[in-house]
Amino acid sequence: MRMGILTGGGDCPGLNAVIRAAAKTLLSRGIEVYGFKDGYRGVIEKQWAPLDRAAVSGLLHRGGTILGSNNRDNPFNYPAHTADGAITYCDASATLLENLRSLELECTIAIGGDGTLSIAQNLCSRGAHLVGVPKTIDNDLAATDQTFGFVTAVATATDALDKLHTTAESHHRVMILEVMGRYAGWIALWSGIAGGADVILIPEIPWSIARVAEKIHARQQEGKLFSIIVVAEGASAPGGGQVVRERIAGSGDPLRLGGIGEVVRRLVEQETGIEARITVLGHVQRGGTPLVTDRILATRFGVAAAELALEGRFGHMVALRGTQVITVPLTEATSRPSKVSADGQLVHAARAVGISFGD
């Protein structure tokens, strides 16, 4: 019997650990395992390679994905080059389904975020055999209590905050760190608490520059002449709406957020007269070695996904509920995003230690 593995969407620390765990579990049961290159593109273009023991050895600590990934190619809106070099979009799902059949794959494990998993669900409803593994540094999938890669991204942001603290203090400045997270404030909230931020701005809590300035001034009254602000890329700008960095044609979610940090920096300087600097952490949050907890979660997810495939429970994905790995229908992966609760315990704890949300 043969099975496939693909990774789709933005990469994330721990993907290789999932590939390794799933492949090892399947190989030990005598299954031939194949890896598709660059997500669904590899299935459409028939680009695949065997994942034998040698191919999945030494992967546990490696960031990225040995299979390659992309967050643009949607089989239902797939880019094709015309003779004159222009790009048109077409439905390539029939080709994809035919390729899965002709390659005689009993099941394919799709590791990805809401885009990849909703495509998997759509393909399952057309008869394909897929199971899912939720992945994203943003931690914004409600079907699972946590995604692997999130904690590593938070650690990277926290490390940046530790470094910004010392230079902020030396220069009596306001330092602003813009972090990823798409429409959820999880990375900002966790890193802000762990890194001792003074202000955290997230999409879930509307803020005003007057309240941010109030916090900065209150610190000055206490003799603290510097302040640290973490802002999630999805936090709303004053007047509403997110700051969009670019639009990616063909992508399931074409908006790429970015730029709110600079908006906050200008407003802070205008409102307080204090020098402010912005650091946009960017894709460094997606790279590097996964932390221990992410390696373990990724391994548990990989093993559970392989077992799901072996049991023939197509159309399902693995998820973390409390301390248990469970399975849920793929439809749940995208039914609603996971957002920070504005009156939840984490926000409460942050407020209790003096962090302002600018509200």
Binding site for ligand F6P (CB under 6 A): 10, 71, 113, 136-138, 180-182, 233, 256-257, 286
Whole-number Å distance between alpha carbons of 202 and 195: 16
Whole-number Å distance between alpha carbons of 257 and 316: 30
For ligand F6P, the closer of residues 33 and 280 by Cβ is 280
Whole-number Å distance between alpha carbons of 129 and 247: 32
Question: Would you state the structure tokens that stand for residue 317, as one six-digit string?
Answer: 């994905």
CB atoms < 10 A from the CB of 341, how many?
11
Give the shortest CB-282-to-ligand F6P separation in angstroms: 8
3-class state of residue 189 by DSSP: helix
Give the shortest CB-204-to-ligand F6P separation in angstroms: 15
For ligand F6P, the closer of residues 71 and 121 by Cβ is 71
Exposed/middle/buried for residue 260 (C-beta within 10 Å: 0-12, 13-18, 19+): buried
For ligand F6P, the closer of residues 18 and 309 by Cβ is 18
Give the shortest CB-9-to-ligand F6P separation in angstroms: 7
Residue 44 CA to its chain's centroid (Å) = 24
For ligand F6P, the closer of residues 31 and 68 by Cβ is 68
Residue nearest to ligand F6P (CB): 180
Give the shortest CB-285-to-ligand F6P separation in angstroms: 7
Give the shortest CB-253-to-ligand F6P separation in angstroms: 8
For ligand F6P, the closer of residues 51 and 231 by Cβ is 231
Beta strands in the chain (DSSP E): 2-7, 32-36, 48-50, 78-81, 87-90, 105-112, 130-134, 174-179, 199-201, 227-232, 244-247, 255-257, 276-280, 316-321, 324-329
* Contact by Cβ (8 Å): 33, 137: no
Q: Which residues are catalytic?
A: 138
For ligand F6P, the closer of residues 312 and 337 by Cβ is 337
Question: Would you state the structure tokens that stand for residue 82, as one six-digit string?
Answer: 């015309």
Question: Would you state the structure tokens that stand for residue 208, as one six-digit string?
Answer: 């005003």
Residue 137: enclosing H or E segment and its boundaries?
A: none
3-class state of residue 159 by DSSP: helix
Give the shortest CB-278-to-ligand F6P separation in angstroms: 17
Give the shortest CB-212-to-ligand F6P separation in angstroms: 23
* Contact by Cβ (8 Å): 250, 92: no
- The tokens 């010392």 sit on which residue? 166
Q: DSSP class of residue 307?
A: H
For ligand F6P, the closer of residues 120 and 257 by Cβ is 257
* Contact by Cβ (8 Å): 168, 342: no
